[in-house]
Chains A and B, each alone.
Chain A
Amino acid sequence: MTDAAADAPIPKPDAGDRARPERQEPLLAADGSPLKKSLQRSLRRQKLRAFGLVAPLLLFVLVTFIAPIADMLFRSVENQIVSETLPRTVVALEQWDPEQDELPSEDTFLAMAYDLVEAQELKIHTRLGTRLNYETTGISSLFRRTGRGVDDFGEIYLDQFEDLNPNWDEAGPWVDLVADEGWEHPAPFEPSERFAALMSETAAAYASFARAIQQGSDDNPREEEPWAPVHMALYHDLMRTDPGAIAAYEGPRAEMLREARAAVEGFESQPVREMFVAEEEDWLDPEVWATIKTFSPPYTPGYFLTSVDLKLSPDGEVVAQDEDQRIYMLLFQRTLFMSLMIMGCTILLGYPIAYLISNLPLRTANLLLILVLLPFWTSLLVRTSAWKVLLQQQGVINDTLVWIGLVADDARLTMINNQFGTIVAMTHILLPFMILPLYSVMKTIPPSYVRAAKSLGATNWTAFWRVYFPQSVPGIGAGCILVFILSIGYYITPELVGGTTGTFISNRIAFHISSSLNWGLAAALGTILLVVVLVLYWVYDRIVGIDNVSLG
């Protein structure tokens, strides 16, 4: 507002706007083109240049920051491993209702046999076992042990076919029978359409075998006899197929088929379920199947539920986690509580220091600021280890207290490997992040405000509390956000001095990333942490206002 407004008791802020004549037509530049366009044209070069300057950083941030975060968020719900490893089983289980407390059908067992034999050849069945073990313990060993014997499932049929004609246990004849005429080894195996039309299950089972050994161990199907499940498929196909259709078949090795069809009716058979049970009794437990069904969709809320101590029951309902496995809510609460404590401690310790520094002459203030920043020049590990030296039971502080006589020698204080140690060490480490924003804000508060307050009759305390403090709130806000967000994700200090009661959620995330390799859960925990921070940020914005945050 101009000073002219001071002359009129009632201001007219829009007077200037009203005075300007109304413009209907767009302004034209000297060459007759619209002014806006020529302005844009003249600014384009500048904008491109500015973008060019920012582009490397933008790219860097995109590749190293945004993309990993997006990937992490995706991992927390991604669950394609079940449907990719057990595609047939997942389809077969769609018909099955776990609430009926019955085992799945024979077809499902068959599908599982085909899936499992392929998966063990590709050596991915243990990975799936590990994944499902997060949900139901025991599945990992079930998969591992079954995987060892699954290529003999259907051996009973293999033996009978071999007795009939030794060619059934030879690699070459099988390739002649099933393969497409144009197929040669290095290319992925292709069954002939003619054979697949007649005996679909066998064609699929053999193709699965051939591709698995090609891909898994780079073997040539022409040199490897198929595993027993293929013979099981052959038995099923022959039993289903009309002898007339087989008689009419004219592909290679058709006579082997006709011979087998004639004999197959007399073959001994065995349900697939029995084969599984012979390997592992646990396959009779519906919970195993229910777990597979529950986690068969490509996306799952399971990791998030685990993160908040809930789980999907095998019936697909959300239930509380078993009591002995509820740790994450406790860890989240502890992380929040301790971060708030640390934030409070840094305010209490940092505010007077910042006030002191901001009121000192520049030379002294700079010296003190260097002292504040000194910890930054020391390695984080060294500082944290120094706290170990100070705080441990045989450490400097305890020794001193015992020497003074405040503490008995047999009752030394436990100050490390607990929450106290973490709060002390982290308050020390994060203190500069509170002092610096506070200082830079306090620096901008002219001393005349407090003087004015005092001249108006305010005591020192009132002048501070009513006039100085409200103006330093932006600095407190900035410091709080910095300290809180840094501490909520802090890892190394709680790891070193936190013991068991002073660890943060980030330590658990690190454990899942590097030790248990449960990245999905780590991602879900990280996502929740991110959301919590964003929510708190939002709450802070609503209460204090983000405009009130100032770094100076």
Chain B
Amino acid sequence: MALDAGNRKTDFVVFDRVQKSYDGETLVVKDLNLDIAQGEFLTMLGPSGSGKTTCLMMLAGFETATHGDIRLDGKPINNIPPHKRGIGMVFQNYALFPHMTVEENLAFPLEVRKIGKDEREAKVRRALDMVQMADFGGRRPAQLSGGQQQRIALARALVFEPELVLMDEPLGALDKQLRERMQFEITRLAHEIGITVVYVTHDQTEALTMSDRVAVFNDGKIQQLAEPDVLYEKPENSFVAQFIGENNTLQGTVQDIDGKVATVRLDDGEIIDCTPVNVSQPGERTQVSIRPERVEYNRERLSPDAHTIHAEVLEFIYMGDIFRTRLRVAGNEDFVIKTRNAPDQRRLQRGEKIEIGWLPEDCRALDA
């Protein structure tokens, strides 16, 4: 078993060539290989229908893998029923038992484990304290707000001290402000207790802010598995680039690849330098991706290495902390740039012709 520097198992949860099909004709999960380290907060991110929830359900034991092994702490768990896996789970709609009080809900996993009354009460109390809901033990779930129910569901998944907790879009039903608070709380708790979390969401902000690593799912496959910053800054294919954050794309053809620089001829004839990511030979069609905040139009700030290109301002939107400007660049009318609202920042006018620039490292040539 592989151990890293902190003596943690790096292969605490293992998906080994896992496939899943419901109808025998199409694969919902195609050849999934994934190692999750102990204590890691891993998020499965993807659009709906991408197979992320199916993976979670296979891990929880509610779906069986059509092919391949799932191992937990070295043991294959394919044939272990859900209640013997000892995995905590938080459901999308919380699934708090409506006919039990909060305390009874929390005591349920302890009761079925035949834990004595005194210890049970102590653990319930501790779990309620942990989520700052100590005064709500006697209430029924229906008497709680969405955020409170969320905390109780979390406490219930943690109260029997599982080593692995699964969360299936747990914040989906909350409003934005509360969601942000809960994101923070869940990560804080997970790190305090040091438990492994597999978190499923389709909200990329959630994935980026909470996770140690993010696995981006699409079409039954992991498109990229990386730390949030890597995922954002170095997307490995155009799906990830499009799915994570805002992104400008320019269509073109690879002219030449020379080590770390690819020369791309854009469709309107302009030639730019890019970092090749998954293009391999000249003549290949490519999608060039540039993050809006990596584009600069202020000459004084522009780095000398920057590649510059002409642009026309189509729209200027004042958004408070930033300015958002829509430009026509190399024939693309949806080229967006974001600039910080600094005191010396110039506000652009509609119809203005400007010159914009970016570093070749920020400009990535991806598959078309």
Binding site for B on A (CB under 8 A): 1-3, 5-7, 9-10, 446, 448-449, 451-460, 462-463, 466-467, 470-471
Contacts and interface: CB of A to CB of B under 8 A. Distances in A.
Most chain A beta-carbon contacts within 10 A, residue among B97, B113, B175? B97
Contacts of A2: 145
Contact of A456 (B93, B109, B147, B175): B109
Contacts of A467: 97
A3 B175 contact: yes
A451 B62 contact: yes
A410 B156 CA distance: 65
B133 interface: yes
Contacts of A7: 147, 181
B82 interface: yes
A550 to B, nearest CB: 13
B86 A457 contact: yes
A458 B148 contact: no
A455 B145 contact: no
Interface string B84-115: 11111101110111110000000011001100
A193 to B, nearest CB: 82
Contacts of A466: 108
Given A3-B174, A6-B146, A6-B147, A457 B83 contact: yes
Interface in B108-148: 108-109, 112-113, 132-135, 143-148
B178 A448 contact: no
Given A451-B82, A457-B160, A446 B95 contact: yes
A449 to B, nearest CB: 5
A265 B274 CA distance: 150
A5 B148 contact: yes
A471 B91 CA distance: 18
B83 A455 contact: yes
A458 B89 CA distance: 13
B112 A456 contact: yes
B331 interface: no
23 contacts: A1-B143, A3-B145, A3-B175, A3-B178, A6-B147, A6-B148, A6-B151, A7-B181, A9-B132, A9-B135, A448-B93, A451-B82, A452-B95, A455-B60, A455-B85, A456-B88, A456-B108, A456-B156, A457-B86, A460-B81, A462-B112, A463-B83, A471-B98
A466 B97 CA distance: 9
Contacts of A470: 99
A450 to B, nearest CB: 9
A452 B152 CA distance: 13
B99 A471 contact: yes
Contacts of A453: 97, 108
Contacts of B144: 1
A452 B91 contact: yes
Given A454-B62, A457-B113, 7 more contacts: A1-B143, A3-B178, A9-B133, A448-B95, A452-B97, A454-B81, A455-B89
Interface of B: 60-62, 81-89, 91-93, 95-99, 108-109, 112-113, 132-135, 143-148, 151, 156-157, 160, 166, 174-175, 177-178, 181
B108 A1 contact: no
Contacts of A451: 60, 62, 82, 89, 91, 95
A189 to B, nearest CB: 78
Nearest to B60: A455
B352 to A, nearest CB: 44
Given A6-B147, A9-B135, A459-B112, A449 B95 contact: yes
A458 B174 CA distance: 28
Contacts of B160: 456-457
B60 A458 contact: no
Nearest to B88: A455
The 4 closest A-B pairs by CB, nearest first: A6-B147, A456-B109, A452-B95, A455-B89
B113 A1 contact: no
A7 B181 CA distance: 9
B80 to A, nearest CB: 12
Nearest to B177: A3
A454 to B, nearest CB: 4
A475 to B, nearest CB: 13
Contacts of A9: 132-135
A172 B366 CA distance: 131
Nearest to B151: A6
A2 B148 CA distance: 10
Nearest to A5: B145
Given A6-B146, A6-B178, A446-B95, A452 B89 contact: yes
B148 to A, nearest CB: 5
B148 A457 contact: no
A462 B89 CA distance: 18
B83 A458 contact: yes
A459 to B, nearest CB: 6
A15 to B, nearest CB: 13
Contacts of A460: 81, 83
Contacts of B147: 3, 6-7
Nearest to B92: A448
Contact of B108 (A3, A5, A458): A458
Contact of A10 (B85, B98, B112, B135): B135
A455 B87 CA distance: 6
B326 to A, nearest CB: 35
B347 to A, nearest CB: 37
A6 B146 CA distance: 8
Nearest to A2: B145
B97 A449 contact: yes
A459 B145 contact: no
Nearest to B149: A6
B268 to A, nearest CB: 50
A110 B111 CA distance: 87
B92 to A, nearest CB: 8
Contacts of B156: 456
Contacts of B134: 9
Contacts of B88: 455-456
Contact of A448 (B81, B85, B91): B91
A455 B99 contact: no
Contact of B82 (A3, A5, A454, A471): A454
Contacts of B86: 457
Contacts of B133: 9
A1 B143 CA distance: 8
Given A3-B147, A6-B148, A452-B91, A458 B112 contact: yes
B174 to A, nearest CB: 7
A455 B156 CA distance: 11
A460 B84 CA distance: 11
A446 B146 contact: no
Given A448-B93, A451-B91, A455-B88, A1 B83 contact: no
Contacts of B113: 457
Contacts of B83: 454-460, 463
A2 to B, nearest CB: 6
Contacts of A5: 145, 148
Given A455-B83, A456-B112, A6 B135 contact: no
Nearest to B175: A3
Contacts of B87: 455
A5 B88 CA distance: 27
B95 A457 contact: no
Nearest to A451: B62
Contacts of B148: 1, 5-6
A1 B145 contact: yes
A457 B160 CA distance: 9
B170 to A, nearest CB: 12
